[in-house]
A and B are shown apart, each in its own frame.
Chain A
Amino acid sequence: MSKILMKGNEAIGAAAIQAGCRYFFGYPITPQSELPEYMARELPKVGGVYLQAESEVAAINMVYGAAGSGARVMTSSSSPGMSLKQEGISYIAGAELPCLIVNIMRGGPGLGSIQPSQTDYFQATRGGGNGDYRLVVYAPSDVQEMVDLIIEGFDVADQYRNPVMIAGDGMIGQMMEPVEFKTPVRRELAEKDWATTGTNGERERNIINSLYINPEDLEQHNIRLQAKYDLIKQNEVKVESYNIEDAELVIAAYGTTARIAKTAIAKLEEEGYKIGLIRPITLWPYPYDEFKKINPNCKAVLTAEMNTGQMIDDVKIAVEGKYPVHFYGRTGGMSPTPEEFIENIKKILGGEK
Protein backbone atom coordinates (compact mmCIF):
# COMPACT_ATOMS: atom_id res chain seq x y z
CA MET A 1 0.00 0.00 0.00
CA SER A 2 1.20 3.51 -0.73
CA LYS A 3 1.86 6.23 1.79
CA ILE A 4 -0.72 8.83 2.66
CA LEU A 5 -0.23 12.13 4.44
CA MET A 6 -2.04 12.17 7.78
CA LYS A 7 -2.16 14.15 10.98
CA GLY A 8 -0.95 12.10 13.97
CA ASN A 9 -4.24 12.16 15.85
CA GLU A 10 -6.20 11.00 12.80
CA ALA A 11 -3.65 8.32 12.01
CA ILE A 12 -4.25 6.89 15.49
CA GLY A 13 -7.93 6.52 14.66
CA ALA A 14 -7.28 4.98 11.27
CA ALA A 15 -4.79 2.50 12.78
CA ALA A 16 -7.21 1.54 15.55
CA ILE A 17 -10.01 0.87 13.08
CA GLN A 18 -7.64 -1.19 10.97
CA ALA A 19 -6.72 -3.15 14.09
CA GLY A 20 -10.39 -4.05 14.53
CA CYS A 21 -11.26 -1.53 17.23
CA ARG A 22 -14.97 -0.79 16.96
CA TYR A 23 -15.69 1.10 20.19
CA PHE A 24 -14.40 4.46 21.31
CA PHE A 25 -15.41 6.27 24.50
CA GLY A 26 -13.87 9.68 25.15
CA TYR A 27 -14.19 13.28 26.20
CA PRO A 28 -12.85 16.29 24.28
CA ILE A 29 -9.51 17.81 25.30
CA THR A 30 -6.73 19.60 23.40
CA PRO A 31 -4.39 18.49 21.85
CA GLN A 32 -6.08 15.20 20.95
CA SER A 33 -9.60 16.21 19.89
CA GLU A 34 -9.01 15.34 16.21
CA LEU A 35 -8.94 11.70 17.30
CA PRO A 36 -12.45 11.51 18.84
CA GLU A 37 -13.67 13.66 15.92
CA TYR A 38 -12.19 11.17 13.48
CA MET A 39 -13.75 8.27 15.37
CA ALA A 40 -17.16 9.98 15.49
CA ARG A 41 -16.97 10.27 11.70
CA GLU A 42 -15.42 6.92 10.80
CA LEU A 43 -16.57 4.33 13.37
CA PRO A 44 -20.26 4.31 12.37
CA LYS A 45 -19.18 3.56 8.77
CA VAL A 46 -17.70 0.25 9.91
CA GLY A 47 -20.55 -0.69 12.26
CA GLY A 48 -18.77 0.62 15.34
CA VAL A 49 -19.81 2.96 18.13
CA TYR A 50 -18.33 6.32 19.06
CA LEU A 51 -19.68 7.72 22.30
CA GLN A 52 -18.84 11.04 23.92
CA ALA A 53 -18.99 10.37 27.64
CA GLU A 54 -19.90 12.92 30.31
CA SER A 55 -16.34 12.85 31.66
CA GLU A 56 -13.09 10.95 31.40
CA VAL A 57 -14.13 9.06 34.53
CA ALA A 58 -17.23 7.80 32.76
CA ALA A 59 -15.34 7.17 29.51
CA ILE A 60 -12.81 4.83 31.08
CA ASN A 61 -15.57 3.01 32.97
CA MET A 62 -17.42 2.54 29.68
CA VAL A 63 -14.18 1.05 28.36
CA TYR A 64 -14.18 -1.28 31.38
CA GLY A 65 -17.71 -2.41 30.50
CA ALA A 66 -17.01 -2.81 26.80
CA ALA A 67 -13.67 -4.58 27.32
CA GLY A 68 -15.27 -6.95 29.83
CA SER A 69 -17.91 -7.69 27.22
CA GLY A 70 -15.21 -8.84 24.82
CA ALA A 71 -14.89 -5.82 22.54
CA ARG A 72 -11.79 -4.24 21.04
CA VAL A 73 -12.11 -0.83 22.62
CA MET A 74 -10.12 2.32 23.17
CA THR A 75 -10.17 5.74 24.76
CA SER A 76 -7.94 8.75 24.43
CA SER A 77 -7.24 11.93 26.30
CA SER A 78 -4.55 14.37 27.27
CA SER A 79 -2.86 14.84 30.62
CA PRO A 80 -5.60 16.39 32.87
CA GLY A 81 -8.12 13.92 31.43
CA MET A 82 -5.69 11.08 31.93
CA SER A 83 -5.59 11.94 35.63
CA LEU A 84 -9.34 11.32 35.79
CA LYS A 85 -8.99 7.98 34.05
CA GLN A 86 -6.65 6.54 36.67
CA GLU A 87 -9.43 4.99 38.77
CA GLY A 88 -10.78 3.08 35.80
CA ILE A 89 -7.32 2.08 34.57
CA SER A 90 -6.59 0.50 37.95
CA TYR A 91 -9.86 -1.46 37.80
CA ILE A 92 -9.17 -2.55 34.21
CA ALA A 93 -5.68 -3.73 35.18
CA GLY A 94 -7.07 -5.48 38.26
CA ALA A 95 -9.81 -7.23 36.31
CA GLU A 96 -7.27 -8.04 33.56
CA LEU A 97 -9.11 -6.51 30.64
CA PRO A 98 -7.53 -5.58 27.32
CA CYS A 99 -7.90 -2.07 25.94
CA LEU A 100 -5.91 0.72 24.34
CA ILE A 101 -5.49 4.09 26.06
CA VAL A 102 -3.94 7.01 24.23
CA ASN A 103 -2.42 9.95 26.11
CA ILE A 104 -1.38 12.88 23.95
CA MET A 105 0.57 14.60 26.69
CA ARG A 106 0.54 18.33 27.38
CA GLY A 107 2.25 20.55 29.92
CA GLY A 108 1.31 20.35 33.59
CA PRO A 109 0.74 20.26 36.51
CA GLY A 110 -2.92 21.16 36.85
CA LEU A 111 -4.48 22.67 33.77
CA GLY A 112 -0.92 23.45 32.64
CA SER A 113 -0.79 24.29 28.95
CA ILE A 114 -1.96 22.78 25.69
CA GLN A 115 1.55 22.53 24.27
CA PRO A 116 3.44 19.24 23.86
CA SER A 117 5.19 17.65 26.81
CA GLN A 118 6.27 14.35 28.31
CA THR A 119 5.23 15.13 31.87
CA ASP A 120 3.14 12.02 32.43
CA TYR A 121 6.04 9.54 32.36
CA PHE A 122 5.73 8.82 36.07
CA GLN A 123 1.96 8.49 35.85
CA ALA A 124 2.20 6.09 32.92
CA THR A 125 5.05 3.90 34.16
CA ARG A 126 4.60 4.04 37.93
CA GLY A 127 0.84 3.63 37.91
CA GLY A 128 -1.24 6.77 38.43
CA GLY A 129 -4.00 4.64 39.91
CA ASN A 130 -3.95 2.59 43.08
CA GLY A 131 -2.41 -0.82 43.46
CA ASP A 132 0.44 -2.90 42.13
CA TYR A 133 -0.29 -2.86 38.42
CA ARG A 134 1.53 -2.13 35.19
CA LEU A 135 0.55 -0.86 31.78
CA VAL A 136 2.44 -1.64 28.61
CA VAL A 137 3.47 1.88 27.57
CA TYR A 138 4.63 2.75 24.06
CA ALA A 139 6.29 6.06 23.23
CA PRO A 140 6.35 6.40 19.42
CA SER A 141 8.61 9.02 17.91
CA ASP A 142 6.91 9.44 14.55
CA VAL A 143 3.47 8.95 13.08
CA GLN A 144 4.39 5.77 11.22
CA GLU A 145 5.73 4.16 14.37
CA MET A 146 2.63 5.22 16.25
CA VAL A 147 0.40 3.56 13.66
CA ASP A 148 2.40 0.33 13.82
CA LEU A 149 2.40 0.31 17.63
CA ILE A 150 -1.34 0.86 17.82
CA ILE A 151 -2.01 -2.08 15.56
CA GLU A 152 0.37 -4.30 17.52
CA GLY A 153 -0.76 -2.77 20.83
CA PHE A 154 -4.30 -4.12 20.49
CA ASP A 155 -2.87 -7.62 20.02
CA VAL A 156 -0.54 -7.18 22.99
CA ALA A 157 -3.48 -6.04 25.12
CA ASP A 158 -5.50 -9.11 24.11
CA GLN A 159 -2.61 -11.53 24.49
CA TYR A 160 -1.83 -10.49 28.05
CA ARG A 161 -5.30 -9.24 29.00
CA ASN A 162 -3.74 -5.96 30.03
CA PRO A 163 -4.31 -2.30 29.23
CA VAL A 164 -1.83 -0.82 26.74
CA MET A 165 -1.01 2.87 26.65
CA ILE A 166 0.31 5.01 23.83
CA ALA A 167 2.17 7.92 25.42
CA GLY A 168 2.59 10.46 22.67
CA ASP A 169 3.61 14.05 23.15
CA GLY A 170 1.37 16.75 21.68
CA MET A 171 3.81 17.21 18.82
CA ILE A 172 3.19 13.74 17.44
CA GLY A 173 -0.59 14.19 17.65
CA GLN A 174 -0.52 17.42 15.68
CA MET A 175 2.19 16.55 13.16
CA MET A 176 1.37 15.70 9.50
CA GLU A 177 3.49 12.84 8.16
CA PRO A 178 3.29 10.23 5.43
CA VAL A 179 2.12 6.87 6.78
CA GLU A 180 1.66 3.45 5.33
CA PHE A 181 -0.91 1.06 6.72
CA LYS A 182 0.94 -2.21 6.32
CA THR A 183 -0.96 -5.43 6.65
CA PRO A 184 -0.21 -6.20 10.27
CA VAL A 185 1.37 -9.42 11.41
CA ARG A 186 -1.29 -10.75 13.73
CA ARG A 187 -0.50 -12.63 16.88
CA GLU A 188 -2.26 -15.85 17.71
CA LEU A 189 -4.88 -14.89 20.24
CA ALA A 190 -7.08 -17.03 22.46
CA GLU A 191 -10.87 -16.78 22.37
CA LYS A 192 -12.27 -14.32 24.90
CA ASP A 193 -14.22 -17.03 26.68
CA TRP A 194 -14.12 -14.96 29.88
CA ALA A 195 -16.20 -12.10 28.45
CA THR A 196 -19.73 -11.27 29.58
CA THR A 197 -22.04 -11.92 26.70
CA GLY A 198 -24.98 -13.50 28.54
CA THR A 199 -24.64 -17.16 29.47
CA ASN A 200 -27.22 -18.20 26.88
CA GLY A 201 -27.78 -21.10 29.27
CA GLU A 202 -24.73 -22.73 27.73
CA ARG A 203 -21.89 -21.98 30.12
CA GLU A 204 -21.05 -20.98 33.69
CA ARG A 205 -21.47 -17.32 34.58
CA ASN A 206 -18.65 -14.97 33.63
CA ILE A 207 -17.70 -12.34 36.17
CA ILE A 208 -15.55 -9.27 35.56
CA ASN A 209 -14.12 -8.20 38.87
CA SER A 210 -11.12 -6.76 40.70
CA LEU A 211 -12.35 -7.45 44.25
CA TYR A 212 -10.69 -10.21 46.29
CA ILE A 213 -11.92 -9.60 49.81
CA ASN A 214 -9.84 -12.42 51.25
CA PRO A 215 -6.21 -11.22 51.63
CA GLU A 216 -4.81 -14.66 50.76
CA ASP A 217 -6.76 -14.57 47.50
CA LEU A 218 -5.69 -11.02 46.70
CA GLU A 219 -2.06 -11.90 47.36
CA GLN A 220 -2.36 -14.84 44.95
CA HIS A 221 -4.02 -12.56 42.38
CA ASN A 222 -1.12 -10.10 42.71
CA ILE A 223 1.42 -12.90 42.39
CA ARG A 224 -0.32 -14.02 39.19
CA LEU A 225 -0.28 -10.45 37.89
CA GLN A 226 3.43 -10.13 38.66
CA ALA A 227 4.13 -13.37 36.79
CA LYS A 228 2.30 -11.90 33.81
CA TYR A 229 4.27 -8.65 34.07
CA ASP A 230 7.50 -10.66 34.18
CA LEU A 231 6.47 -12.38 30.97
CA ILE A 232 5.78 -9.00 29.38
CA LYS A 233 9.22 -7.80 30.50
CA GLN A 234 10.81 -10.83 28.83
CA ASN A 235 8.89 -10.58 25.58
CA GLU A 236 7.77 -7.07 24.85
CA VAL A 237 10.68 -4.66 25.38
CA LYS A 238 11.23 -2.44 22.35
CA VAL A 239 14.15 -0.08 21.95
CA GLU A 240 16.09 1.61 19.20
CA SER A 241 19.74 2.31 19.78
CA TYR A 242 22.42 3.99 17.75
CA ASN A 243 26.20 3.79 18.03
CA ILE A 244 26.25 2.96 21.76
CA GLU A 245 29.21 0.56 21.54
CA ASP A 246 31.40 3.37 20.27
CA ALA A 247 30.01 6.50 21.91
CA GLU A 248 31.74 8.94 24.21
CA LEU A 249 28.32 10.14 25.33
CA VAL A 250 24.95 8.41 25.04
CA ILE A 251 21.68 10.29 24.96
CA ALA A 252 18.61 8.57 26.44
CA ALA A 253 15.45 10.07 25.00
CA TYR A 254 12.03 8.99 23.74
CA GLY A 255 9.26 10.30 21.53
CA THR A 256 9.75 13.65 19.85
CA THR A 257 12.72 14.46 22.09
CA ALA A 258 14.60 11.52 20.55
CA ARG A 259 13.97 12.90 17.07
CA ILE A 260 15.42 16.24 18.03
CA ALA A 261 18.35 14.42 19.62
CA LYS A 262 19.04 12.65 16.32
CA THR A 263 19.41 15.98 14.52
CA ALA A 264 21.87 17.11 17.20
CA ILE A 265 23.81 13.85 16.95
CA ALA A 266 24.22 14.24 13.17
CA LYS A 267 25.56 17.77 13.56
CA LEU A 268 27.96 16.74 16.32
CA GLU A 269 29.26 13.86 14.21
CA GLU A 270 30.29 16.38 11.57
CA GLU A 271 32.40 18.00 14.25
CA GLY A 272 33.99 14.67 15.18
CA TYR A 273 31.95 13.77 18.26
CA LYS A 274 30.79 10.19 18.80
CA ILE A 275 27.35 10.39 20.31
CA GLY A 276 25.07 7.38 20.85
CA LEU A 277 21.34 7.18 21.43
CA ILE A 278 19.11 4.83 23.38
CA ARG A 279 15.50 5.44 22.49
CA PRO A 280 13.10 3.40 24.62
CA ILE A 281 10.04 2.56 22.52
CA THR A 282 8.45 0.80 25.49
CA LEU A 283 8.61 3.03 28.57
CA TRP A 284 7.30 0.00 30.42
CA PRO A 285 8.73 -2.60 30.23
CA TYR A 286 11.85 -0.41 30.27
CA PRO A 287 14.85 -1.47 28.16
CA TYR A 288 17.27 -1.58 31.12
CA ASP A 289 19.49 -4.21 29.46
CA GLU A 290 20.22 -2.01 26.48
CA PHE A 291 22.31 0.25 28.73
CA LYS A 292 24.64 -2.70 29.47
CA LYS A 293 25.82 -2.52 25.84
CA ILE A 294 27.20 0.99 26.24
CA ASN A 295 30.93 1.37 25.56
CA PRO A 296 32.72 1.04 28.96
CA ASN A 297 34.80 4.14 28.10
CA CYS A 298 31.70 6.24 27.55
CA LYS A 299 32.03 9.44 29.58
CA ALA A 300 28.42 10.21 30.37
CA VAL A 301 24.77 9.50 29.72
CA LEU A 302 22.49 12.44 29.03
CA THR A 303 18.81 11.97 29.70
CA ALA A 304 16.63 14.35 27.73
CA GLU A 305 12.91 14.82 28.22
CA MET A 306 10.15 17.37 27.83
CA ASN A 307 9.75 17.55 31.61
CA THR A 308 11.97 18.28 34.59
CA GLY A 309 13.39 14.76 34.83
CA GLN A 310 11.24 11.65 35.14
CA MET A 311 12.74 8.91 32.95
CA ILE A 312 16.09 9.86 34.47
CA ASP A 313 15.17 7.58 37.41
CA ASP A 314 15.03 4.59 35.06
CA VAL A 315 18.24 5.62 33.34
CA LYS A 316 20.00 5.73 36.72
CA ILE A 317 18.66 2.28 37.56
CA ALA A 318 19.84 1.05 34.16
CA VAL A 319 23.41 2.40 34.25
CA GLU A 320 23.97 1.09 37.78
CA GLY A 321 26.29 3.99 38.64
CA LYS A 322 28.74 3.15 35.84
CA TYR A 323 28.43 6.52 34.12
CA PRO A 324 27.48 9.96 35.36
CA VAL A 325 23.90 10.69 34.35
CA HIS A 326 23.08 14.24 33.24
CA PHE A 327 19.77 15.82 32.43
CA TYR A 328 18.58 18.26 29.82
CA GLY A 329 14.92 19.10 29.67
CA ARG A 330 12.46 21.72 28.55
CA THR A 331 9.10 21.85 30.20
CA GLY A 332 5.78 23.67 30.40
CA GLY A 333 5.07 22.94 26.75
CA MET A 334 8.48 24.18 25.51
CA SER A 335 10.43 21.85 23.22
CA PRO A 336 14.16 21.12 23.18
CA THR A 337 16.24 22.33 20.22
CA PRO A 338 19.21 20.63 18.53
CA GLU A 339 21.33 23.69 19.38
CA GLU A 340 20.59 23.35 23.08
CA PHE A 341 21.40 19.63 22.89
CA ILE A 342 24.75 20.47 21.29
CA GLU A 343 25.54 23.11 23.88
CA ASN A 344 24.72 20.72 26.75
CA ILE A 345 26.74 17.88 25.28
CA LYS A 346 29.80 20.07 24.66
CA LYS A 347 29.61 21.32 28.23
CA ILE A 348 29.51 17.75 29.57
CA LEU A 349 32.36 16.58 27.33
CA GLY A 350 34.44 19.62 28.09
CA GLY A 351 34.61 22.19 25.32
CA GLU A 352 35.21 22.28 21.57
CA LYS A 353 36.93 19.54 19.57
Chain B
Amino acid sequence: MAVIFERTKGLTEVETHYCPGCTHGIIHRLVGEAMVELGILDNAIGVAPVGCSVFAYEYFNCDMHEAAHGRAPAVATGIKRVHPDNFVFTYQGDGDLASIGTAEIVHAAHRGEKISTIFVNNAIYGMTGGQMAPTTLIGQKTTTSPQGRTVEHSGMPIRMSELLATIDGAKFVERVAVNTPGNIRKAKRAIIEAFKVQLEGKGFGIVEVLSTCPTNWGMTAPESMKWLADNMIPYYPLGNFRRPEEAE
Protein backbone atom coordinates (compact mmCIF):
# COMPACT_ATOMS: atom_id res chain seq x y z
CA MET B 1 0.00 0.00 0.00
CA ALA B 2 1.38 3.42 -0.86
CA VAL B 3 1.86 5.85 2.02
CA ILE B 4 0.19 9.10 1.09
CA PHE B 5 0.35 10.83 4.46
CA GLU B 6 2.54 10.39 7.50
CA ARG B 7 3.83 12.28 10.46
CA THR B 8 6.64 14.62 9.55
CA LYS B 9 10.07 13.69 10.91
CA GLY B 10 10.31 17.36 11.84
CA LEU B 11 8.10 16.66 14.85
CA THR B 12 8.67 14.17 17.66
CA GLU B 13 6.23 11.37 18.50
CA VAL B 14 5.04 13.30 21.57
CA GLU B 15 1.32 14.08 21.54
CA THR B 16 0.77 17.85 21.73
CA HIS B 17 -1.24 19.46 24.52
CA TYR B 18 -3.02 21.97 22.27
CA CYS B 19 -6.79 22.34 22.55
CA PRO B 20 -8.92 20.65 19.90
CA GLY B 21 -9.18 22.90 16.86
CA CYS B 22 -6.24 25.09 17.85
CA THR B 23 -4.10 25.96 14.84
CA HIS B 24 -0.79 25.91 16.75
CA GLY B 25 -0.68 22.23 15.68
CA ILE B 26 -0.94 23.05 11.98
CA ILE B 27 1.80 25.63 12.28
CA HIS B 28 4.05 23.16 14.10
CA ARG B 29 3.57 20.73 11.29
CA LEU B 30 4.44 23.30 8.64
CA VAL B 31 7.64 24.27 10.46
CA GLY B 32 8.59 20.60 10.88
CA GLU B 33 7.92 19.86 7.21
CA ALA B 34 9.86 22.91 6.09
CA MET B 35 12.92 21.83 8.07
CA VAL B 36 12.73 18.30 6.65
CA GLU B 37 12.28 19.50 3.07
CA LEU B 38 15.22 21.89 3.38
CA GLY B 39 17.32 19.13 4.98
CA ILE B 40 18.18 21.27 8.01
CA LEU B 41 16.54 19.33 10.84
CA ASP B 42 19.79 17.80 12.11
CA ASN B 43 21.42 21.20 12.06
CA ALA B 44 18.56 23.16 13.61
CA ILE B 45 18.40 24.77 17.04
CA GLY B 46 14.98 26.13 17.97
CA VAL B 47 13.81 28.44 20.70
CA ALA B 48 10.41 27.97 22.35
CA PRO B 49 8.58 30.93 23.93
CA VAL B 50 6.40 31.34 26.99
CA GLY B 51 2.80 30.94 25.91
CA CYS B 52 0.72 28.01 24.80
CA SER B 53 3.64 26.83 22.69
CA VAL B 54 5.97 26.73 25.70
CA PHE B 55 6.31 22.96 25.21
CA ALA B 56 7.42 23.37 21.60
CA TYR B 57 10.78 22.05 22.80
CA GLU B 58 9.12 18.68 23.22
CA TYR B 59 7.55 18.75 19.77
CA PHE B 60 10.17 20.02 17.32
CA ASN B 61 12.51 17.17 16.55
CA CYS B 62 15.76 19.10 16.94
CA ASP B 63 17.90 20.72 19.62
CA MET B 64 15.81 23.27 21.52
CA HIS B 65 16.01 26.02 24.13
CA GLU B 66 13.09 27.19 26.22
CA ALA B 67 13.34 30.98 26.64
CA ALA B 68 11.91 33.48 29.13
CA HIS B 69 8.72 35.29 28.06
CA GLY B 70 9.52 37.46 25.03
CA ARG B 71 13.26 36.83 25.06
CA ALA B 72 13.45 34.14 22.37
CA PRO B 73 15.08 36.46 19.78
CA ALA B 74 17.84 37.35 22.28
CA VAL B 75 18.37 33.69 23.15
CA ALA B 76 18.46 32.85 19.44
CA THR B 77 21.00 35.63 18.93
CA GLY B 78 23.27 34.06 21.55
CA ILE B 79 22.95 30.67 19.88
CA LYS B 80 23.48 31.96 16.35
CA ARG B 81 26.55 34.00 17.30
CA VAL B 82 28.12 30.85 18.74
CA HIS B 83 26.96 28.57 15.91
CA PRO B 84 26.71 30.72 12.77
CA ASP B 85 26.48 27.60 10.60
CA ASN B 86 23.45 26.19 12.40
CA PHE B 87 19.88 26.97 11.45
CA VAL B 88 18.30 28.88 14.37
CA PHE B 89 14.62 29.72 14.73
CA THR B 90 12.18 31.08 17.29
CA TYR B 91 8.50 30.20 17.63
CA GLN B 92 6.55 32.90 19.51
CA GLY B 93 3.01 34.00 20.33
CA ASP B 94 1.66 37.54 20.10
CA GLY B 95 1.89 38.26 23.82
CA ASP B 96 5.44 36.98 23.72
CA LEU B 97 6.56 38.83 20.59
CA ALA B 98 4.27 41.87 20.33
CA SER B 99 4.08 42.81 24.01
CA ILE B 100 6.75 41.73 26.49
CA GLY B 101 9.30 40.92 23.78
CA THR B 102 9.01 43.92 21.44
CA ALA B 103 12.50 45.17 22.21
CA GLU B 104 14.04 41.77 21.56
CA ILE B 105 12.28 41.18 18.22
CA VAL B 106 12.82 44.74 16.95
CA HIS B 107 16.52 44.61 17.73
CA ALA B 108 17.06 41.12 16.39
CA ALA B 109 15.58 42.45 13.14
CA HIS B 110 17.54 45.69 13.44
CA ARG B 111 20.84 43.82 13.76
CA GLY B 112 19.86 41.69 10.79
CA GLU B 113 20.32 38.67 13.02
CA LYS B 114 20.43 35.62 10.78
CA ILE B 115 17.58 33.82 12.49
CA SER B 116 14.01 32.96 11.48
CA THR B 117 10.92 33.73 13.54
CA ILE B 118 7.52 32.08 13.40
CA PHE B 119 5.10 34.56 14.95
CA VAL B 120 1.74 33.06 15.90
CA ASN B 121 -0.85 35.83 16.15
CA ASN B 122 -4.12 34.65 17.71
CA ALA B 123 -5.14 38.09 19.01
CA ILE B 124 -5.22 36.90 22.61
CA TYR B 125 -3.18 35.52 25.50
CA GLY B 126 -4.01 31.84 25.22
CA MET B 127 -1.97 30.23 27.94
CA THR B 128 -2.96 32.52 30.79
CA GLY B 129 -6.65 32.18 30.02
CA GLY B 130 -7.71 34.70 27.41
CA GLN B 131 -6.48 38.15 28.42
CA MET B 132 -6.16 41.04 26.00
CA ALA B 133 -3.06 41.14 23.81
CA PRO B 134 -1.67 44.16 21.92
CA THR B 135 -3.05 42.38 18.85
CA THR B 136 -6.59 42.00 20.23
CA LEU B 137 -9.06 43.57 17.80
CA ILE B 138 -11.22 46.62 18.57
CA GLY B 139 -14.45 45.40 20.14
CA GLN B 140 -13.01 41.96 20.87
CA LYS B 141 -14.00 40.73 24.32
CA THR B 142 -11.33 39.15 26.47
CA THR B 143 -11.11 38.54 30.21
CA THR B 144 -9.27 41.85 30.63
CA SER B 145 -11.34 43.77 28.08
CA PRO B 146 -14.72 42.45 29.21
CA GLN B 147 -16.66 45.17 27.36
CA GLY B 148 -14.52 44.75 24.26
CA ARG B 149 -11.25 46.50 23.43
CA THR B 150 -11.58 50.25 22.82
CA VAL B 151 -9.15 52.58 21.05
CA GLU B 152 -9.54 55.15 23.80
CA HIS B 153 -8.36 52.76 26.49
CA SER B 154 -5.86 50.50 24.72
CA GLY B 155 -5.06 52.00 21.34
CA MET B 156 -5.32 50.23 18.00
CA PRO B 157 -4.06 46.65 17.65
CA ILE B 158 -0.38 46.58 16.72
CA ARG B 159 0.62 45.32 13.26
CA MET B 160 4.02 43.75 13.84
CA SER B 161 4.74 42.68 10.26
CA GLU B 162 4.21 46.20 8.95
CA LEU B 163 6.36 47.57 11.76
CA LEU B 164 9.18 45.09 11.23
CA ALA B 165 9.11 45.62 7.47
CA THR B 166 10.35 49.18 8.05
CA ILE B 167 13.56 47.81 9.55
CA ASP B 168 16.41 47.37 7.13
CA GLY B 169 17.76 44.18 8.69
CA ALA B 170 14.42 42.37 8.29
CA LYS B 171 14.94 40.79 4.89
CA PHE B 172 11.82 38.65 4.78
CA VAL B 173 8.46 39.60 6.29
CA GLU B 174 5.22 37.92 5.34
CA ARG B 175 1.80 37.51 6.95
CA VAL B 176 -0.09 34.29 6.29
CA ALA B 177 -3.06 32.47 7.81
CA VAL B 178 -3.87 28.81 8.39
CA ASN B 179 -7.65 28.95 8.12
CA THR B 180 -8.06 27.25 4.72
CA PRO B 181 -6.13 24.57 2.80
CA GLY B 182 -5.08 27.21 0.28
CA ASN B 183 -3.82 29.55 2.97
CA ILE B 184 -2.01 26.68 4.69
CA ARG B 185 -0.13 25.91 1.46
CA LYS B 186 0.83 29.58 1.13
CA ALA B 187 1.92 29.63 4.77
CA LYS B 188 4.28 26.74 4.14
CA ARG B 189 5.76 28.42 1.10
CA ALA B 190 6.40 31.56 3.16
CA ILE B 191 8.02 29.58 5.97
CA ILE B 192 10.34 27.84 3.52
CA GLU B 193 11.24 31.15 1.90
CA ALA B 194 11.95 32.76 5.29
CA PHE B 195 14.16 29.83 6.28
CA LYS B 196 16.07 30.12 2.99
CA VAL B 197 16.79 33.78 3.72
CA GLN B 198 18.65 32.63 6.82
CA LEU B 199 20.34 29.71 5.05
CA GLU B 200 21.60 32.08 2.37
CA GLY B 201 22.96 34.39 5.07
CA LYS B 202 20.80 37.32 4.01
CA GLY B 203 19.45 38.38 7.38
CA PHE B 204 16.40 38.22 9.59
CA GLY B 205 13.16 36.59 8.42
CA ILE B 206 9.74 36.44 10.04
CA VAL B 207 6.45 34.81 9.12
CA GLU B 208 3.43 36.08 11.00
CA VAL B 209 0.78 33.39 11.07
CA LEU B 210 -2.81 34.34 11.88
CA SER B 211 -3.97 31.58 14.16
CA THR B 212 -7.03 30.63 16.21
CA CYS B 213 -7.74 30.18 19.89
CA PRO B 214 -11.15 28.49 19.97
CA THR B 215 -10.92 27.97 23.73
CA ASN B 216 -10.46 31.59 24.71
CA TRP B 217 -12.41 33.04 21.79
CA GLY B 218 -15.30 30.90 23.10
CA MET B 219 -16.02 29.35 19.71
CA THR B 220 -16.03 26.02 17.97
CA ALA B 221 -13.13 25.28 15.66
CA PRO B 222 -15.13 26.03 12.46
CA GLU B 223 -16.49 29.24 14.00
CA SER B 224 -12.93 30.26 14.84
CA MET B 225 -11.78 29.74 11.26
CA LYS B 226 -14.64 31.93 10.10
CA TRP B 227 -13.94 34.58 12.77
CA LEU B 228 -10.31 34.70 11.69
CA ALA B 229 -11.34 35.20 8.05
CA ASP B 230 -14.04 37.76 8.84
CA ASN B 231 -12.27 39.81 11.49
CA MET B 232 -8.53 39.24 11.58
CA ILE B 233 -7.66 39.17 7.89
CA PRO B 234 -9.37 42.53 7.15
CA TYR B 235 -7.25 44.22 9.86
CA TYR B 236 -4.14 42.10 9.35
CA PRO B 237 -3.88 41.83 5.57
CA LEU B 238 -2.13 38.74 4.23
CA GLY B 239 0.83 39.06 1.94
CA ASN B 240 4.50 39.72 1.67
CA PHE B 241 5.93 42.92 3.12
CA ARG B 242 9.59 42.35 2.42
CA ARG B 243 11.77 40.12 0.26
CA PRO B 244 15.56 40.22 0.00
CA GLU B 245 15.49 41.72 -3.54
CA GLU B 246 13.37 44.63 -2.35
CA ALA B 247 15.35 45.01 0.79
CA GLU B 248 18.64 45.42 -1.07
Contacts and interface: CB of A to CB of B under 8 A. Distances in A.
A62 interface: yes
Contact of B74 (A23, A58, A211): A58
B138 interface: no
A91 interface: yes
Given A205-B61, A209-B65, A61 B82 contact: no
A220 interface: no
A176 interface: no
B215 interface: no
B137 interface: no
Nearest to B80: A65
Residue of A54, A67, A91 ringed by the most chain B CB atoms within 10 A: A54
Contacts of B22: none
A68 B79 contact: yes
A211 B66 contact: yes
Interface string B83-105: 10011000000000000000110
Given A61-B75, A207-B57, A200 B43 contact: yes
Given A54-B107, A57-B71, A198-B43, A25 B78 contact: yes
Contacts, number: 131
Nearest to A53: B74
A39 to B, nearest CB: 13
B51 to A, nearest CB: 12
A66 interface: yes
Contacts of A51: 77, 81
A201 B67 CA distance: 24
Interface in A196-245: 196-201, 205-211
Nearest to B104: A58
A49 interface: yes
A88 interface: yes
B10 to A, nearest CB: 12
Interface stretch (A69-77, A147-155, A251-259, A306-314): A69-77
A87 interface: yes
Nearest to B111: A51
Contact of A65 (B42, B77, B87): B77
A63 interface: yes
A221 to B, nearest CB: 13
Nearest to B17: A213
A54 B42 contact: no
Given A68-B78, A87-B68, A196-B64, 19 more contacts: A51-B77, A51-B81, A53-B77, A54-B104, A54-B107, A55-B103, A61-B75, A66-B79, A69-B83, A87-B71, A197-B45, A198-B43, A198-B86, A205-B12, A205-B64, A207-B63, A207-B66, A208-B64, A211-B54
Interface of A: 23, 25, 49, 51, 53-55, 57-59, 61-71, 73, 87-88, 91, 95, 196-201, 205-211
27 contacts: A23-B78, A49-B82, A51-B81, A55-B103, A58-B74, A58-B107, A61-B68, A63-B78, A64-B67, A64-B75, A65-B74, A65-B75, A65-B76, A65-B77, A66-B79, A66-B81, A67-B78, A69-B78, A87-B71, A91-B67, A197-B83, A197-B86, A198-B44, A200-B42, A200-B43, A207-B58, A208-B66
